[in-house]
Structure 1
Amino acid sequence: MKSGKWIFFLLAFTAAASMVAVGIAVGERSIIGVVLSLLALTGAMGFGFATKKKMRDKGML
């Protein structure tokens, strides 16, 4: 795996963990947990898409 692609693996793992955390928070009936998990999911995915676009524009992908 190229060194530049590790960041995408970590972001994907973070996004998946956030999705799992949403399910756990729903099961625990924790509105704060759901909100925080959704914010983490949105942040991870947004950062991943932005990073991918920047790398594609620079010709690194």
Structure 2
Amino acid sequence: MKEIKWIFVLFAVAAASCMIGMGIAIGEESLIGFISCVIALVAVMGFGFSAKAKMRRAGKL
């Protein structure tokens, strides 16, 4: 059985919450909220992919 990489679980939960926030912002008709959630989603996904690449280079994946 593979070991759970908790940092990736954290990134996944953060990205999902950004997507939920985008939906809430659309429902509330908040352009600022929507844009901030999109920016946060891009940042979280970028950090997640860069962390995965670093771990692969280090041989931890």
Q: Which TM-score tier does this pair reach, normalised by the shorter chain? A: over 0.9
In 1, Cα distance between equivalents of 2:51 and 2:7: 9
Identity %: 50
Amino acid of the structure 2 residue aligned with 1:8: F
- In structure 2, the partner of 1:13 is 13
Residues paired across the two proteins, number: 60
Amino acid of the structure 1 residue aligned with 2:46: G
Unaligned 5+ segments in structure 2 are: none
Runs of 4+ in 1 over 4 A off after TM superposition: none
Deviation at 1:2, TM superposition (A): 3.9
Unaligned 5+ segments in structure 1 are: none
Deviation at 1:37, TM superposition (A): 0.4
Q: Cα RMSD over matched residues?
A: 1.3
Secondary structure (helix, strand or coil) at the match of 1:21 reads: helix
